[in-house]
Amino acid sequence: MDFQIGQVIKMKKQHPCGTNAWEIIRVGADFRLKCTGCEHQVMLSRKAVEKGFKGFI
């Protein structure tokens, strides 16, 4: 998959705030994602992001 910084992606699981849209802040072996609902940031492995990826928004 080709992910770029600034893209908004849709994940399978929702964040506790109720949204499943995430903005990509960092790309590499690990991804830093920012929730578009509450601005919370998380670090996930590339494998976890590719597994939970549902589509681009």
* Predicted local confidence at residue 50, as pLDDT: 95
Whole-model pTM: value is 0.91
Q: Are 43 and 24 in contact (CB under 8 A)?
A: no
* Predicted local confidence at residue 47, as pLDDT: 96
Distance CA 14, CA 22 (A): 10
* Predicted local confidence at residue 1, as pLDDT: 78
How would you write the pLDDT of the chain (57 residues) with one tens digit per residue?
A: 799 999 999 999 999 999 999 999 999 999 999 999 999 999 999 999 999 999 999
- What does the domain layout of the chain look like in residue ranges? 8-56
Torsion, Cα of 43, 46, 52, 54 (10° steps): 110
